[in-house]
Every structure is written in structure tokens, then in C-alpha cells.
Amino acid sequence: MTAIELAIGPCLFNWSPEHLTDFYARIADEAPVERVYLGEVVCGKRMPFSDPVWPQVIERLQRAGKTVVLSSLALPATVRERKAMIGLAEAGLPLEFNDMSMLATTAPGPFVAGPFLNVYNEAALGALVRHGASDWCPPVEVPLASIAAVARAHPQVTVELFAFGRLPLALSGRCYHARAHGLSKDSCQFVCEKDPDGMNVATLDKARFLAVNGIQTLSDSCQVVTLGPERLMENGVSRLRLSPHTVDMVEVARAYRDLLDGTASEAETEARLTAMDLPGPPCNAALAGEAGWRQVAL
């Protein structure tokens, strides 16, 4: 049986350089994952603070035998950010494209089609394969049946399923996180750093609703997908993505590794994960084609 890989996705939140360094040191030394994505995906204003950390982090992860992939911004909006994307392409490491403009920025070569790209069917993925896509992390709202159909049409592509973490739903040119604190986007004071798992948003009736991370909207719920290796392979999935949060991500990775190695059942793994201090209630129903905030039997 082909082994299912584990990957740590890019950190979506505004963590301090010290937090990032400590986090990836533990991932390098303790987490049973094969691949780690690095880079700022959400807000280019954060890059001057996080960019100096990456060379040290990359060296530490590679020394531990991890494959390092650099993730692009999902909404580059300035000349500086576009130049940063060109620099990313010149770094000599595998890349994840989260914006279609990366196709014009980089020379042809293998890349990961990230979950921020609008790839919902066989034709869309086929177009990216012709440009060099070798891996695909589907948008989080794509049902498992659709993922399986696309995977069957492109068996040469490695499919990576977003299995854990708050679901990245949308990006905006405006920053609600700043606005909620009476600030503008241009003078945001990086207030998003106060919410390392995103800022909880409630309805007028005080019901939990969504989460905000700078210009990004996330689910309030936390994706927890605990399909076993046989069921994953039946649907064309050969890698799981775990999105970083302040919960102990080493323990999260160990729980998934036990599941994929067959030493823990799907039910045992779900119980183990939901007993942790997750940022929100568990969910997985988008994979069943239902309202994504719910947790259902897949």
C-alpha cells in the first residue's frame, strides 16, 4: 500500500518571528511530516517581519529531512509584492502558486496548485498541468466526490487534501481586522497579531459565525478530516495538509500519522483531535457537499 504523506501548510496568521522560529524548530525535530510549506500567503505587509526568518527555518527543516515548499501570496496587490513573487521564484525551491499571476512570473516547471486557485474541475486542473502543475491542493469547498473525479482524470498529479485547520474561505482588498479596531488598512498597526488563530466573529444574535485574519475570512469551525489511508487512496488523495494553529501541531501530526500508519482508527483519531484545544468546533461537511461548518459522517 502506498503511504499517505503529511504536510504542514503555510502559516496563515501574523505570528512573531520568534514564534515562527520556535514553531518550525519543533516541526523539524518532532513532527512526523514529510513536507512543510513556508511563506506569507495572506498579507504582503507582514513579509518584512517574516522574510528574515525563512533562511534559518529552511536550513533547519531540510537538515531534518523535510521537503520545503515556498508558498506565494494569494492576493499580491502592489509593485513590491509582485517583485517579491519574482524573488520567490528565483529561490531554487519548489513553489506553491496561490495566485494565477505566478504563471507569468516563473519559468515553466513543476509547482503545487494551492487551495486559493479556482480549480474545481478536470479542465481547470488540466490547464495548470500543461503549465507544469505536479500537485494540487483543492479549494476547501470542493466535495470529495469531485476531488476523486478530477484525480481520476489526472492520475499523474499528487492530490493534497486540506485535512486540519480553520478553512480559508476568502480574501479581500480591504482589511476588516483593522477596521474592527478603528484602524485603516494602511495604518493597521499589525493588529492581527493579537489573534494568533484569527479573530472570532459573531452574528448580531451572538452566535459564532466566522473568523477574520487580516484581509482573510476563515471558518469559525476547524476542519478535522479523519479518513483512513484506504479511503483516501480510493478518492485519489495521497497527501494531507495540516494548517498551523496554536494548538500543539506536533501532537496533531502524530495523531494523523498514527491514523495513516494503521495504528489508530478513524474514530479514535477524531476523538483524539477533538479533545485538543481547537480554535473552533470540528467540521468536515464540505467534503460531503453539505454546509461546511458541520461535522458529519463521511
Does 188 show up as a binding residue in the annotation? yes
Q: Is 222 annotated as a binding residue?
A: no
Given a contact cutoff of 8 angstroms between Cβ atoms, the answer to whether 15 and 271 are in contact is no
Give residues with Cβ within 8 angstroms of 294, minimum separation 6: 221, 283, 284, 285
Confirm whether residue 137 is marked as ligand binding.
Answer: no
Give the whole-angstrom CA distance, residue 154 versus residue 58.
Answer: 31
- Quote the cell numbers at residue 48: 518584512
Contacting residues for 265 by C-beta, under 8 A, at least 6 apart: 228, 259
Pairing status of strand 208-213 against strand 216-224: antiparallel
Contact 105, 85 (CB under 8 A): yes
Residue ranges at the known binding site? 43, 175, 188, 192
- Binding-site sequence positions for [4Fe-4S] cluster: 43, 175, 188, 192
